[in-house]
Structure 1
């Protein structure tokens, strides 16, 4: 048995380089001979036994989730014997790590820590060298051919749903690939496809998974990039009043069509710089989404690590993994295979207890994970099956940068996907939108997605521009992928806008950025910086030019502009979006502050110029996406330039 003798120390298990935790405990209630299993295997309806003496009849035993997520469960003592006590089983006691406390009148005392683990069968025999075993089942009936992994090696369940895994347990977890047309339970939106391990390799551990049938052939999934909740810039208010309202309406829209609805974050749910200053970490992010009525899968980003931990990616990601699960995994929804990768190696030089390091990282997929990916994909026989690969840092760089891979070993990912004919990469990190279709890899396309936080919640901050806009002029938002069987299509959804809102137009005759208009409170020093940030827009442009920002554009889209029935030439251009300039940089100058270099407007290539014959003509603009959807605007000119323009 994996057990601990308490009052001297508490053993919570270890994996990789996580330390053994030892905590001295006082003993005001004079309990003796206490012993708690490191893993408490429970079968539904069976009693819970705790070894020790000194308990009293009216004592209450409390199980408190160590993640801070979930409900504290209070259990009364059912029976006493000379070795300990028996507690009644409770359906409310879920799998996970718990602190166990005894409450006696006004006194409470920690008596142990354990992992609650529900099992269907305790009689699965051990096998030599097999350190993890269990059953994948639906209401007690085993399910065959379900993939099980520990992040290194794979196995499949047999005809009875039983699996064995010779795991080193160094990743501290075992998890399944959710089969097509099944679902797992969710806890506070988090899908429970994973089970934590103790890391003790001398014993075999049981970890069962219950899955339930659900037709997922027709589904929609929202990709949520860079939420960056940190309790600053009025982000909680903006998130709750705008984003949560929007995503709930989106989920209701799809449920009304009998589509299963999910979300999948693309990393940076939190912001490491404010984990301690603002006491806002992964748990607090989850507190803000836990009541949403759908499952949210998650991806780790470079800001989701503990900034006090240096040069140890695994330990720095412990809070993320303990709450949200493994940092790389896969699942099947309908006919689509989703693979979530971790392409961040957190270095954080200088981090120490109480000291935030430089928070730097390397954008790479580790060799161990590349091997895992290769094995994962080897189980897919149909190479035409849609494969969606999700990661935080993009695979490919922004086309305007002229470079190739943003993920340093991107070629290894591309090589692993060779042979598949329908691959889409979904990524975040940049807070802008861009799409990549490369001739040399026609089977792979990438959507790099604008951020839920847009410009890190700055433009909607009280007293600023009262809008929500990304660095490339895209509205803050997320991407939606719709799947029907093997057919998928996607679009970018601006927060607070209808799905049909896919571009914005500017009448450049009326776009003029000046310190007097856009930074009137700035002192002379900061007013002088206007040209640095506004560039060409500080000069009048009376050429009758119209600028279009089409944030979801890729080479398969078509843009048509007509003036008085005559089609005008549309030229793609690379420059900065003027609305973002006045919404962020000019707002910072207005309060005599230097705009943060990472947040300022950047050149984007999803901009288009047309030249009209008159400053007052009306233009008929039509944008057709790759799926045949048409988005239109009748642009009445002159068109005003303002913070609230569509």
Structure 2
């Protein structure tokens, strides 16, 4: 049915606001009554165009702003006792966007109702319902506030209330990404925002949660008015006990609709992480998820029509609230500067940097990518830009108890992948260009954990220079960009350092933090893989028979230290979440063997990625090939057939063991 304009009625709303300040405000405005839309399948029947309800002389305000629970009088002719008001969201189709409100009173010339406290601010079509009949009054924007009469203050452009159970909550941190303030005793805040980021957000206090849009926590509100117009933005909290909680740390998904990624994500990662989530919930924990960036892949946003909106479809299948971090591949490649390239992320997911509290832990999410994209190269600097550093200082200044654990998530790694010096000691350096500025902001705090991704490998860094800071570079959910599990490839899921594709699990009880790495599709106790190097000889004929190199040297450059036979009875052990407080022990016939820490490539990754690509006469992508890693350990046995007992103890005292019967076969699906 073609839309038909209605000029035979006018809607008049008198908005009566009664607040705790003793103020009453009446708002009057009028617009032309809205058109009647075409009926769509599954929607209510269109409003009665013949106006059999005989409602006339009505004028509808284009925008209504009121306190929650505010009483409204709509004047017009023909209202009756028992009439109901039907609110239908213009933005949220379906049951979640429909509300029926009973009238408080009605007479021939007006109807009175009270806005429900749970009615969301939104754009609505408003109808009168009387039995089976209905009549469309028109459309309006409804903004409902905890207190619509907070007085303005000079220079303050955003104000509002943070509240829970109808009471304002004090000392909640509120920010626009530049300015930082806190709520007063009544839960009221004021912010002198320039509105550059077009949002305001709260740092969710410990033992509270916010509502979520499916599983995206709604800790921010968007700003839509010019900087000189004061906007009211409220935040409702729900009291919970999350002192005991678990965070799933999800690095580098790289969803792009290629290399069978969605199938692997949906059939491998999702059931695995959701089972982990359920297990921890069953044990009495609140469970959350925190990404580490590169959920998408900017190079395929437009060619494969797969970007952040498509990622949200998959994100919503994770059975926990998901806090997102921005990665270099989550920038819009149609922009050639950092701020503009971030706009899509802000539009779809929200702030690019922010903080929140869970229990007694303060979490901070940073964007440490400065996107350049010169000549469509999608290049970038790993840097925390100056505005963000200044915001970080202000945010941390609100944490007065320096024993509060600080957990910071950002995409690019703070430290380089550790190497071993000539004496076998671990050495590393900073990777972020202004790392010292970042580290300086953390002075005075006793416990800081930095969670990073980007590398698609695992490593942990603690240094004598910053003993209060520990970095955890967490390997990728996509492993080697979903290649090794792609149809026709190795049939496994392995990262560049040999770690299985997986995710971090952080279990927190008060201020006690424990962490681990969970391999997708494996038991949580799967923490290392041992190779019988007598069985590891990587030849072109065996692993890439179709490869036609111009020189044998090309194969050897990929096979590296495994290009030649090794008959020295050596065993290589890859302990992917190792840190300096772990212990690796090996015994042979009850006698301990000398364990040496070494820096080597993982042989299983070489045959699972590089050899597979070479076998198709395709050049392996340089960023995807096997990397030297220092979480490797080597022992020498007395014979090729002795059985070894490998015992690995993590920093929390948990022991992982393998009785290694040798010879141990080398293969794509080995453990």
Q: Alpha-carbon deviation of 1:400?
A: 2.6
Out of 238, 241, 245, the residue aligned to residue 271 of structure 2 is 245
Q: Alpha-carbon deviation of 1:292?
A: 2.8
Q: Alpha-carbon deviation of 1:34?
A: 11
How many angstroms apart in 2 are the aligned matches of 1:71 and 1:577?
53
Out of 545, 554, 557, the residue aligned to residue 579 of structure 2 is 554
Alignment of 1:147-546 (within 5 A): 147-311=173-337, 313-350=338-375, 357-400=376-419, 404-523=429-548, 525=550, 529-546=554-571
Contact 2:69 2:114 in 1 (8 A): no
Q: Alpha-carbon deviation of 1:324?
A: 1.7
**SS of residue matched to 2:437:** helix
Alignment of 1:559-574 (within 5 A): 559-574=584-599
Q: Alpha-carbon deviation of 1:386?
A: 0.9
1:124 counterpart residue number = 150
How many angstroms apart in 2 are the aligned matches of 1:295 and 1:641?
40
**SS of residue matched to 2:514:** strand
> CA 1:623 to 1:289, structure 2 compared with 1: closer, same or farther past 3 Å?
same
> CA 1:256 to 1:187, structure 2 compared with 1: closer, same or farther past 3 Å?
same
Q: Alpha-carbon deviation of 1:254?
A: 0.6
1:616 counterpart residue number = 641
Contact 2:545 2:615 in 1 (8 A): yes
Give the greater-gyration-radius structure (CA).
Answer: 2
Contact 1:75 1:87 in 2 (8 A): no
Contact 2:65 2:145 in 1 (8 A): no
> CA 1:481 to 1:229, structure 2 compared with 1: closer, same or farther past 3 Å?
same
**SS of residue matched to 2:419:** helix
Q: Alpha-carbon deviation of 1:398?
A: 1.1
**SS of residue matched to 2:657:** strand
2:77 counterpart residue number = none
Structure 1, unaligned runs of 5 or more: 1-26, 50-59, 80-85, 103-110, 351-356
The reply to whether residue 138 of structure 1 matches residue 164 of structure 2 is yes
How many angstroms apart in 2 are the aligned matches of 1:36 and 1:516?
75
Contact 1:561 1:567 in 2 (8 A): yes
Write out per-residue CA displacement over residues 177-203 of structure 1, whole angstroms, 9 at most, x where no aligned residue: 111111111112111110111151221
How many angstroms apart in 2 are the aligned matches of 1:287 and 1:44?
35
How many angstroms apart in 2 are the aligned matches of 1:367 and 1:225?
25
2:629 counterpart residue number = 604
Deviates more, 1:517-526 or 1:613-622: 517-526
Q: Alpha-carbon deviation of 1:149?
A: 0.8
Alignment of 1:575-614 (within 5 A): 575-614=600-639
Q: Alpha-carbon deviation of 1:213?
A: 0.8
> CA 1:142 to 1:91, structure 2 compared with 1: closer, same or farther past 3 Å?
closer
> CA 1:508 to 1:131, structure 2 compared with 1: closer, same or farther past 3 Å?
same
Number of equivalences:
593
Q: Alpha-carbon deviation of 1:346?
A: 1.2
Q: Alpha-carbon deviation of 1:163?
A: 0.9
How many angstroms apart in 1 are the aligned matches of 2:205 and 2:146?
20
Deviates more, 1:539-548 or 1:318-327: 318-327
How many angstroms apart in 2 are the aligned matches of 1:113 and 1:573?
68
**SS of residue matched to 1:460:** coil
Contact 1:519 1:527 in 2 (8 A): no
**SS of residue matched to 1:215:** coil
How many angstroms apart in 2 are the aligned matches of 1:298 and 1:603?
29
Contact 1:61 1:101 in 2 (8 A): yes
Q: Alpha-carbon deviation of 1:536?
A: 2.1
Write out per-residue CA displacement over residues 524-579 of structure 1, whole angstroms, 9 at most, x where no aligned residue: 55987321211121211110000000001111111100000110011111111000
Deviates more, 1:205-214 or 1:401-410: 401-410
Alignment of 1:625-636 (within 5 A): 625-636=650-661
Contact 1:263 1:297 in 2 (8 A): yes
Write out per-residue CA displacement over residues 251-307 of structure 1, whole angstroms, 9 at most, x where no aligned residue: 111111101111100001111011111111111111012133311111000011111
Write out per-residue CA displacement over residues 551-610 of structure 1, whole angstroms, 9 at most, x where no aligned residue: 011111111000001100111111110000011011111112111111110111101110
Give me the TM-score of the superposition, normalised by structure 1: 0.84
